[in-house]
Structure 1
Amino acid sequence: MKARLIDTGLHANRQFRLKTVDEYYLNSPFHFHEACEIVLIEEGYGKRIVGDHIDDFEKGDLVLMGPNLPHIWQNDNVYFQKRKTMRVKATVLYFDPSLVLNLIAGSEAAVIIQSLFTKARRGVVIKHATHSLMLQRFAEIRAAEGLKRMSVFLDMLDMLSTSNDIEFLASENYHNAMTIKDTGRFNAVYQFLITNFHQEISLDEIAGVAKMSPTAFCRYFKARTNKSFVSFLQEIRISHACKLLRSNDLSIMDVALESGYNNLVNFNKNFRNILSLSPSEYRKKVRAEVEPSA
């Protein structure tokens, strides 16, 4: 599956589009396009890469992304077994930012919406009260037609533009240094890493996936992502470890093994380097956030 500049279905007479997904697994490759995009995951889980950020996603994940921001949502391996009881459902809203800016040109709202689009260049995940309100708007926009659908769409943007319930994804200095040709190569690399991160992955092996020599691959990966391959692999593994620490009572050693580490000292070191917490401290922190105080 080769990555490409995805056709979002937008054109002069259709400047925002609602797409529904109901499949065994998500099948869009690592890509970017010229539209803004709001992605709501209604069923399913896995990992997402947005710019230089990697994290786990699950039911309810809601992300806004600006134009030309490379991204991929990939389900965990169990989804590729095509079990009848497991489906992925999502709604994606594509829109042309110039459509909105042209509608409100010269108004005070234009400055606020432009600020939202600037934030969207890094990708933002939407949480808390705004997340709940956006779920309501998604239900409304699915049922609406004509001007009513446009009204709900603009209300969604207004809500997002004034909300503080967001977290940035890509790093502050991130910029897309990739070409369409690069995304094809990175699609293969990222899919391989997301599928196999829990196993030992040698530099020779991943360079072979990219069809490059190890030395050339290291330079290439760093130039396009602004981080080393080893650092990126550690981020995938620690992201998965965080998911396990949040969602079950596995021992720290079992979490390490499930995340691709066979050495507990190594696991603790990498975890603290990325999150400035030990795995046990992280688990205690997230549990304190979800459990009501006495």
Structure 2
Amino acid sequence: MKARLMDTGLHASRQFRVKQVDEYFLNSPFHFHDTCEIVLIEEGYGKRIVGDHIAEFEQGDLVMMGPDLPHIWQNDSIYFQQRKHLRVKATVLYFDPSMVMNLVAGTTAERHVQQLFTSAARGISIQGDTHACIVEKFSVIRSTDGLKRMAVFLEVIDLLAGSADHHLLASSNYSHAMTLKDTGRFSDVYQFLMMNFHRDIPLEEVAAVAKMSPTAFCRYFKARTQKSFVSFLQEIRISHACKLLRNSELSILETALESGYNNLVNFNKCFRNITSQSPSMYRKAMRKK
């Protein structure tokens, strides 16, 4: 898979674009681009990577990302069987942040909008009342055009700039250190891991996906992601385990096996290291919510 800078369709004369997705599965590779992006998942589920952050996504997932932040949304393996009852639907907004900053320059909103874009450099997951309001705005954006669409888009930015209903995704020390060639290689590796995390993955096998020796791959992975390959794989597995604990009746042991662990003690240790809770505590807390 060749690496490339993704063309979002924005040009000097077109600084705001709406893209609607309706497919069997999401097919964009791990990539970055020079625009801001807001993604609303309307149908579908799977895993997403934003910078060095790994999480599950599902219907209602709403994320804003700043320019040059690498990311990928990958559906779970069942989607690649192209079953007729499964579709992925999403609305994506691309826009040039300088266009928005020019519009708010000299106003009381300027500082808040600038802070929003600073936060978006790490990726923002939007939640709560703000999430509900923006989902409604997206439905208007999909059904309008011209000045009406632009006006509602600016309302979305205003809502985000004035809200605390969000959390940052990539870690505070994350630094985008990837070239176009890197994103192509990592796209192959990430897609491989997200399709195979549930089984034992020898280091030699994943290194071969990257076309590198195991030793070189480990050094390369750590240099580009600021975390070890083992830590990254554990985060994918625990993220999947969290989804199972929230949404299924599987036992803790069954959850561990489905998430790639054949040892319950190891699963409990990794789960606590990443979430600061035991699996049973996590399930109880999620059910209270």
Which TM class, normalised by the smaller chain length? over 0.9
Q: Which moved more, 1:105-114 or 1:59-68?
A: 105-114
Equivalent-residue separation in structure 2 for 1:18 and 1:136 (angstroms): 15
Equivalent-residue separation in structure 2 for 1:19 and 1:66 (angstroms): 17
Equivalent-residue separation in structure 2 for 1:51 and 1:27 (angstroms): 18
Instruction: Give the aligned residue type for 2:280.
Output: S
The CA deviation at 1:2 is 2.7
* Residue number in structure 2 paired with 1:270: 270
Unaligned runs of 5+ in 2: none
The CA deviation at 1:161 is 0.5
- The root-mean-square deviation of aligned C-alpha atoms, in Å, is 0.7
The CA deviation at 1:106 is 1.8
* Residue number in structure 1 paired with 2:141: 141
The CA deviation at 1:3 is 3.3
Q: Equivalent pairs: percent with the same residue?
A: 71
Instruction: Give the aligned residue type for 1:282.
Output: Y
Kept in 2, the 8 Å contact 1:198–1:261? The answer is yes
Instruction: Give the aligned residue type for 2:12.
Output: A
Alignment of 1:112-123 (within 5 A): 112-123=112-123
* Residue number in structure 2 paired with 1:292: none
Kept in 2, the 8 Å contact 1:2–1:187? The answer is no
Q: State how many pairs are aligned.
A: 289
* Residue number in structure 2 paired with 1:205: 205
Q: Report the TM-score when normalising by structure 1.
A: 0.97
* Residue number in structure 1 paired with 2:21: 21
Kept in 2, the 8 Å contact 1:20–1:89? The answer is yes
Query: Which structure 1 residue ranges, 4+ long, deviate > 2 Å from structure 2?
Result: none
Kept in 1, the 8 Å contact 2:45–2:56? The answer is yes
The CA deviation at 1:150 is 1.1
Equivalent-residue separation in structure 2 for 1:279 and 1:2 (angstroms): 39
Equivalent-residue separation in structure 2 for 1:234 and 1:17 (angstroms): 36
**2:89 alignment partner, SS class:** strand
**1:132 alignment partner, SS class:** helix
Instruction: Give the aligned residue type for 2:265.
Output: V
Instruction: Give the aligned residue type for 1:64.
Output: M
Kept in 2, the 8 Å contact 1:2–1:29? The answer is no
Task: Kindly provide the CA deviation profile for residues 45-89 of structure 1, in whole angstroms up to 9, marking residues without a partner as x.
Answer: 000000000000000100000000000000000000011111100
**1:164 alignment partner, SS class:** coil
The CA deviation at 1:145 is 2.0
Instruction: Give the aligned residue type for 1:73.
Output: W
Kept in 1, the 8 Å contact 2:2–2:181? The answer is no
